[in-house]
Amino acid sequence: MRFTFIHAADLHIDSPLAGLGLKDKTVAERFADAGRRAVEALIAETIESKAAFLIIAGDIFDGDWKDVTTGLFFVRVISALHRAGIPVFMVKGNHDAESVISRGLPYPETVRIFPSDKAATIPIETHRVALHGRSFPNRLTNDFVATYPVRREGWLNIGVLHTSLDGTRGHEGYAPCTVDDLKRFGYDYWALGHVHAAEIVSRDPWIVYPGNLQGRSVRETGAKGAMRVTVENGFIVEVAPLVLDRARWAHLTVDVSKAANEADMIEQVSAELAGAHAQSEGRPMAVRVTLVGATALHNQLVARRELLQDDIRASGFRLSDDCWVEQVKVKTGLPQRSAAPLPAESLDVDALLEQMANDPGFATDLAELVEAVKARLPKDLHDGFFGTDMLRALGRDAHALLAGESS
Query: What confidence score (pLDDT) does residue 376 get?
Result: 62
User: Given a cut of 80, is residue 294 above it in pLDDT?
Assistant: yes
Number of H helices, E strands in the chain: 10, 15
Sheet bearing 189-193, strands edge to edge: 120-124, 129-133, 156-162, 189-193, 206-209, 199-203
Largest CA distance in the chain: 88
Inter-CA distances, 299 with 151, 233, 293, 332, 347, Å: 63, 65, 13, 9, 14
Mean pLDDT of 90-105: 87
Rounded to the nearest 5°, which phi and psi values hold at 294?
-85, 120
- Which of the four pLDDT bands, split at 50, 70 and 90, describes residue 378? low
Query: What confidence score (pLDDT) does residue 140 get?
Result: 60
Between CA 248 and CA 283 the distance in angstroms is 6
Residue 179 C-beta-side C-alpha neighbours within 13 Å: 11
Per DSSP, the three-state class of 227 is strand
The DSSP element (H or E) to which 90 belongs, if any, is: strand 88-91
Task: Name the residue among 79, 89, 20, 103 with its Cα closest to residue 381.
Answer: 20
Domains of the chain and CATH, by start: 2-243 (3.60.21.10), 247-337 (no CATH), 343-407 (no CATH)
Between CA 313 and CA 231 the distance in angstroms is 47
Give the pLDDT confidence of 42-78 residue by residue, as tens digits: 999 999 999 999 999 999 999 888 889 999 999 999 9
Give the pLDDT confidence of 112-128 residue by residue, as tens digits: 999 998 899 999 999 99
Q: What angle do CA 16, 72, 164 make, to 5 degrees?
A: 50
Is the pTM higher than 0.75? The answer reads yes
